[in-house]
Structure 1
Amino acid sequence: MNWQFGGIPLHPLFVHLTSVAVPVAALVAIAVAAWPAARRWLAVGAPIIGLVALVSVPLATSSGEWLEHHEEETALLERHTHLADGLLPWSIAVFALLTLWWGWQRFGVARVDARGLVRAVGIVGPVLLVAAGIGSLIEVVVIGHAGAVSVWKG
């Protein structure tokens, strides 16, 4: 696919979408894990935010791979593209966990009779959400920094 519009590469546009959507989804994951009121306020909006972040990642990486083939390859650019490949698993985790947590809060808690299961999910779910959120935040910052360095110093 030709990842440009009017002769201008689309990668910066998708990178800005990703650099906003992924941290917002990560912060939403942390908020719904730590703050019960956020679960009610965000409800199905949390998985939708996670989905936007998830969709933005392949757009950014695909357009970045296209741009990489049209630019001079440097060690800094290679580092950036290598790091960028690590964001998709984090985004999948955030989206999946937000969706599962929303489903559990909406449908699971009220219908399960086993108090031990409710307690276990109530502990494990938030821990996984926070871990995925923090992991994706770190990953997007590291990737973004490497990209900025490759553009401005490369």
Structure 2
Amino acid sequence: MSPTVVDGLPAHILFVHFVVVMVPLTALAVVAGAVRQRWARRMGVLLPVTALVTLAMVPVTTHAGEWLERRSGHSPLLRRHTELGDTLLPWALGLFLAATVVWWIGRRTAPAVAPDGVDAGSTTDAGPARSGGGWQRAGWVRTVAVVAAVAIGAGAVVDVYRIGESGAKAAWEGTTQSAPASH
């Protein structure tokens, strides 16, 4: 399914850095795009594509971690890390879905542009300032998207933190001293 060793190092050690950086960045981008439609339009298709790549890396990283776990000593800390690691995929899927919705809303509420490239009307951050049920529904959908983006983004970031902290404990517990080692 995925590489397990890269240049002699367990791949999990390398892949985890991608996930630890990209999940919070993706969450931040999704929330920013949900709050400011102009930013969602500016990010464009890069927003859901980034979320998709991040989503794809989660099972790759988990698979490499399971390979590493089978070659490591079994401890309660490692078991806890492994269990927590399995909780990230739903959050990453949620980030991808939220990114796709935010991107879609950003496209649907894009301001009208005249042939000369100038905005054709008064706009708000939610899109064109028009009356009518369609734009009001878009505002309602946008509000739900903002709330969902914040909830999913926060949940994903907290989960990454919990997984990373448990992994650090599993890897480093008992390996360092509070006082410097004498040489």
Q: Normalising by structure 1, what TM-score?
A: 0.90
Q: 2:59 and 2:42 mapped to 1: Cα distance?
A: 29
Q: Is the 8 A contact 2:91 2:152 kept in 1?
A: yes
Q: 2:106 and 2:144 mapped to 1: Cα distance?
A: 13
Q: How does 1:122-141 map to 2 (within 5 A)?
A: 122-141=142-161
Worse overlay, 5-14 or 42-51: 5-14
Unaligned 5+ segments in structure 2 are: 112-131, 175-183
Residues 1:27 and 2:47 are matched in the alignment? no
Q: Provide the residue aligned with 1:148 in structure 2.
A: 168
Which of structures 1 and 2 has the bigger CA Rg?
Answer: 2
Q: Provide the residue aligned with 2:9 in structure 1.
A: 8
Residues 1:94 and 2:114 are matched in the alignment? no
Per the TM alignment, residue 76 of structure 1 is displaced from its structure 2 partner at its CA by 0.3
Q: Is the 8 A contact 1:11 1:64 kept in 2?
A: yes
Per the TM alignment, residue 49 of structure 1 is displaced from its structure 2 partner at its CA by 1.4
Per the TM alignment, residue 131 of structure 1 is displaced from its structure 2 partner at its CA by 0.8
**Partner SS for 2:74:** coil
Q: Provide the residue aligned with 2:49 in structure 1.
A: 48
Unaligned 5+ segments in structure 1 are: none
Residues 1:59 and 2:60 are matched in the alignment? yes
Between the two structures, name the one with larger relative contact order (CA 8 Å, sep ≥ 6): 1
Q: Provide the residue aligned with 2:180 in structure 1.
A: none
Residues 1:36 and 2:37 are matched in the alignment? yes
Per the TM alignment, residue 103 of structure 1 is displaced from its structure 2 partner at its CA by 1.5
Worse overlay, 89-98 or 38-47: 38-47
How many positions carry a matched residue from both structures? Answer: 153
For residues 46-69 of structure 1, give each alpha carbon's deviation from its aligned partner in whole angstroms, at most 9, with x where no partner exists: 111111211111111000001000
Spell out structure 1 runs of 4+ moving beyond 2 A: 5-8, 107-110, 112-117
Per the TM alignment, residue 108 of structure 1 is displaced from its structure 2 partner at its CA by 6.8
Q: Normalising by structure 2, what TM-score?
A: 0.77
Q: Which has the higher helix share?
A: 1
1:119 corresponds, among 139, 142, 148, to 139
Q: 2:7 and 2:48 mapped to 1: Cα distance?
A: 34
The residue identity in structure 2 corresponding to 1:16 is: H
Q: 1:9 and 1:118 mapped to 2: Cα distance?
A: 47
Per the TM alignment, residue 6 of structure 1 is displaced from its structure 2 partner at its CA by 4.2
Give the superposed CA RMSD: 2.0
